[in-house]
Amino acid sequence: MNAKVADRIATVLFYMIALLIVGLLTGLLGFILVRGLMVIDWNFLTTPPSAVREGGGIGPQLFNSFYLLVLTMLITIPLGLGGGIYMAEYAKPNKVTSFIRLSIEVLSSLPSIVVGLFGLLVFVQYTGWGFSLAAGALALAVFNLPLMVRVVEQAIESVPREQKDASLALGITHWQTITKVMLPVALPGIVTGTILASGRVFGEAAAIMFTAGMSSPALNFSDWDPSSPASPLNPFRPASTLAVHIWKINSEGLIPDAVEVSAGASAVLVIAVLLFNLLARGLGRYIHRKMTSS
């Protein structure tokens, strides 16, 4: 075959692949949003799900998803910052460092169901908490932490060398250089990465169903005392999230409008992930502008 003809054919093929993928995403998003937005209204977002009849909402699940995310981030952000700073600034090229790197690699590519089972064994059974938000948050932290460490490390490493050297040359100690000079510069990257990681955690299900459980007790949204059992804030109560709820109603098939409820819940999940994406970009850019102009 003529080389020029082959080149033409290949080019057309590549265009078709690109179109196919764009079409796939538009189809997926279109399907989720069109089907979902028909279901979503204020009532759907705030009422609790029904066990057998139709017309239930996703109120507690929506709250649980966000609350679990907050709890997870309370664990992973400090640890991730510490770990990332260590890897970027203190880690020497030795056995321990390469072992930490291997751990990051393994932990971040573990199947989430394996992490969930580990959580079931350690955080649910050995601690005696039972299915609980706390166990779910710890399990999520297991595979969110390596992600955070990597985000922080990369952000700190991308700080211009001159900036660090200038600070050290002024006689400022290493720790102060890190906290006062490098962290602020690295902040946009850290914020963007953190929000993107949150988006991933938000849609996670397999790790949560074995740790936070698949059901949510009746919540009393006027009781904000974290120690009372019906309080939404109680970290030791079981909680199903949106993603777990979608899986559960589809596999149990107890409620007749499972398809509508899952369509609505899927749309809420996808819209949340889209918002996380936009927020990550916007906030990162905003902080960057604010830090560099002043």
Partner 1 sequence: MQNDVQNSLGEILAKPAKKQKRIEVMGRTLTLVSASMLIITLASLLYFIASKGLSTFFVDGVSLSNFFSTNWGPNVSPDQGGPFYGALAFIVGSFLVTILAALISAPLGVGAAIFMTEIAPAWGRKVLQPVTELLVGIPSVVYGFIGLTVLVPFIRNHLGGQGFSLLAGVIVLSVMILPTITSIAVDTIQAIPKKIREASYALGATRWQTISRILVRTSLPGLMTGVVLGMARAFGEALAVQMVIGNSGMVPGSLLEPISTLTSVITLNMGNTVQGSTYNNALWSMAFILLLMTLFFILLIRLMTRRREY
Taking CB under 8 A as the binding criterion, the range among 50-58, 66-74, 218-226, 242-250 that sits at the site for partner 1 is 242-250
Q: Which of 56, 59, 60, 83 binds partner 1 (CB under 8 A)?
A: 83
Q: Which of 117, 279, 283, 287 binds partner 1 (CB under 8 A)?
A: 117
Taking CB under 8 A as the binding criterion, the range among 44-52, 184-192, 222-230, 271-279 that sits at the site for partner 1 is 271-279
The Cα 269–Cα 45 span in angstroms is 12
Q: Which of 112, 167, 194, 216 binds partner 1 (CB under 8 A)?
A: 112
45 versus 110: smaller Cβ distance to partner 1? 110
The pattern of x and - marking residues 206 through 235 that bind partner 1 according to CB under 8 A reads x--xx---x---------------------
Decide if residue 121 touches partner 1 (CB under 8 A).
yes
Q: Which of 174, 180, 289, 290 binds partner 1 (CB under 8 A)?
A: 174
Whole-Å CA distances, 239 to 74, 136, 140, 175, 201:
18, 9, 14, 40, 15
Task: Please state the closest distance from residue 214 (CB atom) to partner 1, in A.
Answer: 8
Task: Please state the closest distance from residue 55 (CB atom) to partner 1, in A.
Answer: 19
Residues 10-39 that bind partner 1 (CB under 8 A): 10-11, 13-15, 17-18, 20-22, 24-25, 28-29, 31-32
18 versus 74: smaller Cβ distance to partner 1? 18
